[in-house]
Chains A and B, each alone.
Chain A
Amino acid sequence: MSILYFFLYLLLVTVIGLLYMGVARKVTAHIQNRYGPPIYQPILDVLKLFGKRHTVTHGVMHSLGPVIAYTGIASTLLFLPLGNHTPLLHFKGDLFVVLYLLVVGPLGMALGAGESSNPNATIAMARALSLMLGYEIIFFMATLPVFYHYHTASIYKVIQAQGVFPHWGAIIFPISFLAALFALQGMMGEKPFEIAIAPHEIASGPMVEYGGKYLGLLQLWHAVGIIVETGLLVDIFFGPQNIIWFFIGTFIVFYVVILVNAVMPRFRIEQAVRFYWGIPLLLAILGILQVYIWR
């Protein structure tokens, strides 16, 4: 029974993530004065990709790359509480476990992309990892004050400790929240930080040699990734929500991200990293100082 529940849970989040991707395309289309595809379009895309008969692989690691990526993000999901909903595994969602499991996905994809021996893929992975040096540290520093304030490292306890509306993390720590929003943009790899994918420049980067079911798995990875990344922000900054409000919260955060994405050009990689070490870092430091002063 619990196994069934677990599969349904994963399926539900994957489908919702795919719908989010559809919404992103629709919204972008509307901003560009187009109709855009139906919001269930990514589901069709994934079905189509899995339906491809012959695809190409460059070796064992190249095939396993997307598998590891999806494994990583799905395990992160199970350790992450969705709003009030306790995480499926009994850890109460420890921050460090979640942060480290989040890396498994990119690592898997990096290994897979690396084996294709296409320089575009490797350049993209080098960029993605370097960008991590920018956003990951900002995200970490921005979430620290909340965890420090409530004296726990468990995401679930942080959610419970926050309480209803005026006591949200986002209201108590507005500076940190702003920094976290900056970091989220890079974490989701949307413009202006779309440096690793960059279809017009390095031919969609890590995905350059992936087609068919591999690309399908990567789409699923991306779909769950959207929920996990925005969900992490909602959990830490928006207090206890039931599952419906949780998804509304993630949607709002995601909406902000795609609005920025739709109107922004793309940074060069060193510009992006330097950008993160400028204003967002300052904001994150101010957030930490705020919690120090508070105590």
Chain B
Amino acid sequence: MAMFLLLLIIGLTGLLAFILGPIKVLRNIISLIGAIGGLLYFVFKIRPGQAYALNIKIYNVHFGTGMSALSIFFGIILLGLFLIFLIASFHEDNDGAYYMFSFFSLLGALGVLFAKDLISFFFFFETMSLFSFLIVLKGNGETSHRSAFKYVMWSAFGAYAFLLGTFLKVNYTHSVMITDISYLGGNIKLWILILLLTPFMVKTALMPFHLWAPGAYTDSKDTYTVFLSGGLSKIGVFGYFIALFNVFSQIAVLYPWLLKVFAYIGAITASLAGIYAFMQDDAKKLLAYSSISQLGYVAVGFGVYSHFSVVAALFHALGHAVFESLLFLVVAGVYYRTKTHDLRKMGGLIKKMPLSFIGLLFGIIATSGIPPTIGFPSKWLLYEAIILKNDLFLVSLVFFASITAFLYSYKLIHSIFLGKLHKEHEHIKEAPFGYGFGIVVLLIPLFVLGTNPGIVVKPIDYIVRFYLKPDLAYNLTNMTTPLGHVNFPAIGITMTLLFTLSFIIYLIFGKSYRAAQEDNYTATEWIDKDFGLHYGGEFYGFMRKAFGKPLTWSFEKILNACLKVVSFLGEIARGFYMGDARVYLFYIILFFAIIVYIMGGKL
């Protein structure tokens, strides 16, 4: 019952927020109470193993819900991020419908976590997609309609594949429950698996299905992107787990090549999206590609399919929720003040928005996977898991992807916060409370879990241990794989100590005075105060030359080519029925010609 009550709380809050839409204060208070209440209720009332609270039987088909430890794990991420999104979103100019949609998308996401059968899974999944589509539609960009349309089309593509898979499964196993299908004969089980995996690949924007993501992430409202990228994409990760472990438990035995393909798709996604990311000039587009890239690692973790690679994947999903949301939140705060996402138009904001700078700094450190932040443990585990699986090319590809992370991270932080302050930004203040609150809250897990990964690895291990042979030894602060051993806080402590030492060296010697902005080495030439010293445009422009032509290839072009072929064929078909007189004349002549040709032999 507890689960339904939770869904009820979320849904009712959404409705109330809609009804109270015009009264801003009341609406905000209600939605805040709803979100906090939901989170507290989830944390205290819902336990793993609370299964089958409701069993409906219609036409011999069971519908059911249940809780697993995995659902709890993802539920906390979702509800926590939702709260952060909500508090920041009060600063934006939103109407009641916006809050209703966002609450309903949360409801859909939570429903997916609770579902025990494929039909309700599909239903909640669609609810989530639909309402997040409506929110993207309300976004602030001029292209938001197009992006939203793209988003819903891709979601629909995934959803129908899922539905097809569900029907196939029901047809062969006579059950809609999420049960094992690996005992089925023939190749049908493979098709079911691929069909069931598709919507999750769309949701986590794996490479051939990623086309919706940059647009939807860029054009949705800034604060909602925090939830969309950090939170809702986690449903895709949850889906991977369901499809690869619950629906098809014998995949490593039956289709090892499929896992390999999956892992390689993940690694290629991570690398290519990383390359696309550092070529972007729009802050949110850059982050969108970075998000795609980071979720590629998760796919690699599942594809490698060993105990601690899956642990790494789930840990990385959590890490992604933390650091990617942090980055999106900072960019949202910057947008709130500067009204731009264009990296070429910002710069030097560090002096004006120090807290946001700190947030972004540690966000990019975690994104790049530098210890002692949350990005490091998962990457470390992932590398070792891949080496243990004897795939040195895969690990090289993943490493390449992690280098691209340095590139786009630096571009982001430099273009926004470093460099020269623009004239029109001289009177900017720090981002308001809602954004600052989210930044501070997200920084806590960033460090705590980076130095004490055991806190989260323990429950994850408890989940994964059930399916795969455990080969990872860990406690709160240490982890030992068959290849190596790391003590995470030791890295942090060493760095802190050495930082103190270097800082003391820095303090002892010489005085330094603050130079004015225009006091810069410009080959000793005098420059005006608002001379454009900021290097923002064409950052990494030379990489276009280094990559050469392949950079211009994209899946979009392939799809556009397909579109051309289809419309060409359509044009021919249309001409067949509705052509002008000359065409008909041509048909008649052709007809006679054929008749003459056929008859010709007899004549």
Q: Across the interface, which residues of A come within 8 angstroms of B51, CB to CB?
A: none
* B512 CB within 8 Å of chain A: yes
* Cα separation A214 to B383 with both chains bound (whole Å): 36
Total A-B Cβ pairs within 8 A: 240
* Cα separation A141 to B383 with both chains bound (whole Å): 12
* A167 CB within 8 Å of chain B: no
* A39 CB within 8 Å of chain B: no
CB-based contact B419/A114 at 8 Å: yes
* B539 CB within 8 Å of chain A: yes
Of B168-176, B452-460, B488-496, the one with at least 4 CB within 8 A of chain A: B488-496
0/1 interface trace, chain A 75-90, chain B, CB 8 Å (1 if under): 1001100000000011
CB-based contact A147/B387 at 8 Å: yes
Q: A70-B502, A130-B546, A213-B506 are contacts. A123–B535 as well, Cβ < 8 Å?
A: yes
Chain B: minimal CB distance from A80 (Å): 12
* A67 CB within 8 Å of chain B: yes
CB-based contact B396/A217 at 8 Å: no
CB-based contact B414/A122 at 8 Å: yes
Q: Which residue of B lies closest to A102 (CB)?
A: B370
Which chain A residues (101-156) contact chain B, with CB distance < 8 Å?
101, 103-104, 107, 110-111, 114-120, 122-123, 125-127, 129-130, 132-133, 136-137, 140-141, 144-145, 147-148, 151-154
Q: Across the interface, which residues of A come within 8 angstroms of B371, CB to CB?
A: 97, 100-101
* A216 CB within 8 Å of chain B: yes
Chain A, interface size category, equals 35 or more
Q: Across the interface, which residues of B come within 8 angstroms of A268, CB to CB?
A: 542
Q: Across the interface, which residues of A come within 8 angstroms of B542, CB to CB?
A: 126-127, 130, 268-270
Q: Across the interface, which residues of B come within 8 angstroms of A120, CB to CB?
A: 521
0/1 interface trace, chain B 512-526, chain A, CB 8 Å (1 if under): 111101011111000
Chain B: minimal CB distance from A155 (Å): 9
* Cα separation A52 to B506 with both chains bound (whole Å): 12
CB-based contact B370/A100 at 8 Å: yes
Q: Across the interface, which residues of A come within 8 angstroms of B73, CB to CB?
A: none
CB-based contact B512/A154 at 8 Å: no
* Cα separation A288 to B487 with both chains bound (whole Å): 29
Q: A97-B486, A132-B403 are contacts. A57–B515 as well, Cβ < 8 Å?
A: yes
* Cα separation A185 to B531 with both chains bound (whole Å): 37
Best-buried of B413, B421, B503, B535 by chain A (most CB within 10 Å)? B535
Binding site of A, secondary structure by majority: helix, strand, loop or mixed?
Answer: helix
Which chain B residues (458-492) contact chain A, with CB distance < 8 Å?
481-487, 490-491
Q: Across the interface, which residues of B come within 8 angstroms of A255, CB to CB?
A: none
Q: A74-B498, A129-B407 are contacts. A217–B419 as well, Cβ < 8 Å?
A: no
CB-based contact A75/B387 at 8 Å: no
* B533 CB within 8 Å of chain A: yes
Chain A: minimal CB distance from B201 (Å): 26
Q: Across the interface, which residues of B come within 8 angstroms of A70, CB to CB?
A: 498, 502, 505
* Cα separation A231 to B275 with both chains bound (whole Å): 31
CB-based contact A71/B485 at 8 Å: no
Chain B, interface size category, equals 35 or more
Q: Across the interface, which residues of A come within 8 angstroms of B522, CB to CB?
A: 118
Q: A61-B350, A67-B499 are contacts. A153–B494 as well, Cβ < 8 Å?
A: no
CB-based contact B407/A56 at 8 Å: no
* Cα separation A126 to B501 with both chains bound (whole Å): 29
CB-based contact A273/B543 at 8 Å: yes
Q: A74-B498, A75-B498, A274-B546 are contacts. A94–B392 as well, Cβ < 8 Å?
A: no
CB-based contact A136/B403 at 8 Å: yes
CB-based contact B510/A140 at 8 Å: no
* B361 CB within 8 Å of chain A: yes
* B399 CB within 8 Å of chain A: yes
* Cα separation A126 to B384 with both chains bound (whole Å): 30
Q: A78-B494, A107-B406, A152-B484 are contacts. A54–B350 as well, Cβ < 8 Å?
A: no
* B400 CB within 8 Å of chain A: yes
CB-based contact B387/A126 at 8 Å: no
* Cα separation A133 to B410 with both chains bound (whole Å): 14
Q: Across the interface, which residues of B come within 8 angstroms of A54, CB to CB?
A: 510-513
Chain B: minimal CB distance from A19 (Å): 19
Q: A61-B418, A288-B393 are contacts. A94–B506 as well, Cβ < 8 Å?
A: no
* B183 CB within 8 Å of chain A: no
* Cα separation A133 to B486 with both chains bound (whole Å): 26
* B108 CB within 8 Å of chain A: no
Chain A: minimal CB distance from B491 (Å): 7
CB-based contact A117/B517 at 8 Å: yes
Q: Give the contacting residue for B399; candidates A61, A68, A94, A140; CB below 8 A.
A: A140
Which chain B residues (385-414) contact chain A, with CB distance < 8 Å?
387, 390, 392-393, 395-396, 399-400, 403-404, 406-407, 410-411, 413-414
Q: Across the interface, which residues of B come within 8 angstroms of A68, CB to CB?
A: 499, 502
* A36 CB within 8 Å of chain B: no
* Cα separation A148 to B495 with both chains bound (whole Å): 29
CB-based contact A213/B520 at 8 Å: no
* Cα separation A100 to B535 with both chains bound (whole Å): 27
* Cα separation A117 to B568 with both chains bound (whole Å): 53
Q: Give the contacting residue for B512; candidates A56, A100, A115, A140; CB below 8 A.
A: A56
CB-based contact A118/B486 at 8 Å: no
Q: Which residue of B lies closest to A54 (CB)?
A: B511
Chain B: minimal CB distance from A201 (Å): 12
* Cα separation A119 to B421 with both chains bound (whole Å): 13
CB-based contact B510/A209 at 8 Å: no
* Cα separation A203 to B406 with both chains bound (whole Å): 24
CB-based contact A90/B392 at 8 Å: no
Q: Which residue of B lies closest to A271 (CB)?
A: B546
Q: Across the interface, which residues of B come within 8 angstroms of A103, CB to CB?
A: 368, 370, 406
Q: Give the contacting residue for A137; candidates B396, B484, B519, B539; CB below 8 A.
A: B396
Which chain B residues (296-348) contact chain A, with CB distance < 8 Å?
347-348
CB-based contact B509/A115 at 8 Å: no
Q: Across the interface, which residues of B come within 8 angstroms of A137, CB to CB?
A: 396, 399-400, 403
Q: Which residue of B lies closest to A141 (CB)?
A: B396
* Cα separation A60 to B512 with both chains bound (whole Å): 11
Which chain B residues (352-390) contact chain A, with CB distance < 8 Å?
357, 361, 365, 368-371, 376, 379-380, 383-384, 387, 390
* B545 CB within 8 Å of chain A: yes
CB-based contact B487/A115 at 8 Å: no
CB-based contact B403/A133 at 8 Å: yes
* Cα separation A144 to B520 with both chains bound (whole Å): 44
* Cα separation A57 to B399 with both chains bound (whole Å): 35
Chain A: minimal CB distance from B355 (Å): 13
Q: Across the interface, which residues of B come within 8 angstroms of A35, CB to CB?
A: none
Q: Across the interface, which residues of A come within 8 angstroms of B499, CB to CB?
A: 67-68, 71
Q: Give the contacting residue for B519; candidates A56, A63, A89, A153; CB below 8 A.
A: A56
* A96 CB within 8 Å of chain B: yes
* Cα separation A9 to B454 with both chains bound (whole Å): 32
Q: Give the contacting residue for A144; candidates B395, B503, B533; CB below 8 A.
A: B395
Q: Give the contacting residue for B483; candidates A53, A145, A151; CB below 8 A.
A: A151
* B429 CB within 8 Å of chain A: no
Chain B: minimal CB distance from A121 (Å): 9
Q: Across the interface, which residues of A come within 8 angstroms of B490, CB to CB?
A: 89-91
CB-based contact B380/A96 at 8 Å: yes
Q: Which residue of B lies closest to A135 (CB)?
A: B403
* B276 CB within 8 Å of chain A: no
* B351 CB within 8 Å of chain A: yes
* A58 CB within 8 Å of chain B: yes
* A92 CB within 8 Å of chain B: yes
CB-based contact A140/B396 at 8 Å: yes
- 12 examples of A-B residue contacts, CB within 8 angstroms: A53-B510, A68-B499, A70-B502, A71-B501, A92-B484, A107-B410, A117-B420, A117-B421, A119-B533, A133-B400, A144-B396, A212-B512
Q: Ordered nearest first, which 4 A-B pairs have the shortest CB separation?
A: A114-B418, A153-B484, A270-B546, A117-B420
- Contacts beyond the supplied A89-B494, A209-B515, A270-B543: 14 A-B pairs with Cβ under 8 Å: A50-B509, A59-B514, A70-B505, A71-B498, A100-B376, A107-B365, A111-B361, A117-B348, A133-B407, A136-B399, A136-B403, A137-B399, A208-B521, A270-B545
